[in-house]
Copies of this chain bind each other. A is one copy, B any other.
Amino acid sequence: MIRINRETDYATAILGIMAEEPEACFSATGLAERRGLPGPVVSKILKQLARGGLLHSQRGAKGGYSLARDADAISIAEVIMAMEGPIALTDCIEGGGDACQFHAHCALSSNWSRINDAIYRALQDVSIKEMSAPLADDHQGLRDMGRHVRESLDVAGGRVMAFRSDHG
């Protein structure tokens, strides 16, 4: 069903907390408690994110994890890639063609590749900071944060739209 796995989902939730205090240093157990998730799971996720360069880690007592970059400079695409590897809908794309057993079908991979690019950019276009923003009463926050993606979609749908001029 084209979905990210649960750990990646947890990862965005955890990063959402961290994005609220970008300078702070968080321990795995502390984050686990705040999210109501099992400690070992959170720990595993944080290690993976650190390996992917999204988090900086400090070992030892009083150690923990902190964002390696600004919260709005870490995209969902990066989170997914850190947790699950390259974003690729089909083996053809990731394997570079070798993974595809039949030539005729490989001709199709160009299109898969395009679709893949579209998905990648949609994911690249939302930061963890935007993901963590709570719902405002007038929902304006959400309107703004999703605008970029929505506008791109409006074009895809063949409708007229305005270019964005801020945040990004």
Interface residues of chain A, those whose CB is within 8 Å of chain B, are: 1-4, 6, 9, 12-13, 16, 35-36, 76, 80, 84-92, 94, 101-102, 104-105, 107-111, 113-115, 117-119, 121-123, 125-126, 130-132, 134-135, 142, 145-146, 148-153, 155-158, 163-164, 167-168
Contact = CB atoms under 8 A, between A and B. Distances in A.
Closest 4 CB pairs of A and B: A118-B122, A110-B167, A152-B156, A114-B146
A155 B158 contact: no
Given A110-B146, A113-B167, 14 more contacts: A1-B84, A1-B94, A2-B4, A2-B80, A2-B84, A2-B89, A3-B90, A3-B91, A107-B135, A111-B126, A118-B122, A125-B156, A148-B157, A152-B152
A12 B108 contact: yes
Given A1-B87, A2-B3, A87-B1, A122 B156 contact: yes
The secondary-structure label for the interface of chain A is helix
Contacts of A126: 111, 114-115
A145 B9 CA distance: 33
A158 B149 contact: no
Contacts of A163: 155
Contact of A108 (B88, B107, B131): B131
Given A1-B85, A3-B90, A119-B122, A105 B164 contact: no
B88 A149 contact: no
Contact of A2 (B13, B119, B131, B151): B119
